Structure 1
């Protein structure tokens, strides 16, 4: 059975992470992602304001030029396993039931410009376990679905009325790449306007693709009070229009598939091509290869040579049979008629 996951717990560097970790574990989640949000418009303006304070206009212009968007990407948070184990031991519920916990690092890029997509492929972003994007308009959404395989999650912003319109071709291209769509329920707790946006966007997605299974519901919580248990999230899925059989997957198997997709994206960078026929190895085996590899390659070479000899022998036998049949046919055609004549 798949364990319950919450892959969007919003965190900052100067806050106590372990309160949120403990609260999510007590609710029943066993796989958690600590999310850092990167909004280039806000971060770049604040960084420029800090660098330009107390300088003249010429220095301000140089400071603006020197700030690059890659410098605004943070490093993953440092989470010590000892402190997590202390949180588990301090709680009576966790000490009995919690056996295995997985804490992941996630980064979310708020994309306001299509040129910002290249930052998803940067070396700083690849340090994180999960990479998510929050597109701001339709063009960026289509590009992320079709031509950005480096992402794991496309997060739909429900805090405001979105300009994104779902299309079946975009959704299917993202699903074929293993990308999942994320909706956060915590903004819907605080405001009826956010709740209306969440219901309308989910209903629009289900109308276009009613059998979609690449949707997950995460908290997007900034406080511990914004979190809800996994069974409450499954009941929210029924309210939003999902089938009862698929509601538990919204915070279960779909999230685990996202983690698995991120692991494959991060570690599997080579492929193996399987041939129907054995490959013929030409040349000598180099000396710097181990003895086991040498014996293996020699065995393959002998097998290929024997296979080629057998094919040649079969072809020669086939040609001899054809030639003998041709000679017999030609002899029968040229033999004169020796039947006795009765003229005498």
Structure 2
């Protein structure tokens, strides 16, 4: 039996709405979801990267996944919307607080850099407007070789007919370049009504140009590969940073003996 995942549930300061999103995802059969914090820097003023809220503060008790006897797994994810190369800071300690790291480039130059150089897990494809560039085979293949995945979100197509056209057009253009490999389909849902079940998403993948097998992998095994890639990325230096260490970025009190990090198990 496949393990289905939705790695993009939009973060909301409204805890009841977020609670409903997670419950709906569990009811639809998703075993893992990621709460997505979007960071869009601007040139006008300095902005702070948002800190993820601990899961136990968002929801008291995790719901049980439909058809399984275990609770849903909830991850934290950061998406950086890039319109300038300075918006992505690879050494930023704030990135360590998130389980998954994604970027959404807005220009061809930044897309090429994201595919070939940036140490991230997911490259997001904009679905709310016509892309100002075409997907070229070389950078796309470079990203695939590096283990990165491309994400197409579908909830915008539910909200607006124009966005539906952009979603389909941009997704089809991407599939022509990557041949359906290393693609995940997620919701980017802001409310429960925008969520769809795994098999509905698989059918949507066919509309985007994915084969039946690739469409199923886009909500299951490829998502699992993203999580494994993130764990490997974070442990590349031999250290996995825990949420506890993220909350202790400031110097700890003198009497505190809680470890700031723990050693990763060798692969």
* Fold agreement, TM-score > 0.5: yes
Structure 2 residue 11 is the aligned partner of structure 1 residue 3: no
CA distance in 1, matches of 2:62, 2:182: 35
CA distance in 2, matches of 1:190, 1:13: 21
Of the candidates 216, 231, 251, which is equivalent to residue 248 of structure 1?
216
CA distance in 2, matches of 1:81, 1:87: 15
Stretch deviating more after TM superposition (12-21 or 216-225): 12-21
> CA offsets, 1:25-55, max 9 Å, x none?
00110100000101112xx76xxxxxxxxxx
Match of 2:186 among 212, 218, 237: 218
Determine the C-alpha separation between the residues in 2 that align with 1:252 and 1:192: 28
Taking a change above 3 Å as real, the CA distance of residues 81 and 25 of structure 1, as seen in their structure-2 partners, is: farther
4+ residue runs of structure 1 moved beyond 4 angstroms? 81-84
Distance 1:86-1:160 versus aligned 2 partners, 3 A rule: closer
Q: What is the TM-score normalised by the length of structure 1? A: 0.65
- Offset of residue 209 of structure 1: 3.3
Taking only aligned residues, the RMSD between alpha carbons, in angstroms, comes to: 2.1
1:116 deviates by 1.2
Computing the radius of gyration from Cα coordinates, the structure with the larger value is: 1
Note the residue ranges of structure 2 that are not aligned, 5 or more in a row. 239-267
Aligned partners of 2:155 and 2:188 also within 8 Å: yes
Structure whose residues are more often strand by fraction:
2
Give the structure 1 partner of residue 255 of structure 2: none
User: TM-score under structure 2 normalisation?
Assistant: 0.82
Ranked by relative contact order (alpha carbons within 8 Å, sequence separation 6 or more), the top structure is 2
Contact 1:186 1:227 in 2 (8 A): yes
Q: CA-to-partner distance for each residue in 1:264-319, whole Å, 9 max, x for gaps?
A: 1111335xxxxxxxxxxxxxxxxxxxxxxxxxxxxxxxxxxxxxxxxxxxxxxxxx
2:216 counterpart SS class:
helix
Contact 1:13/1:77 (<8 A) preserved: no
**In structure 1, distance between residues paired with 2:187 and 2:117:** 28
Unpaired runs of at least 5, structure 1: 46-63, 271-344
Distance 1:98 1:219 in 2: 24
CA distance in 2: counterparts of 1:223 and 1:182, whole angstroms: 19
Which structure dedicates a bigger proportion of its chain to helix? 1
The 1:137–1:29 alpha-carbon spacing in structure 2 relative to 1, beyond 3 Å, is: same
Distance 2:4 2:62 in 1: 21
Asked if residue 121 in structure 1 is aligned to residue 122 in structure 2, the reply is no
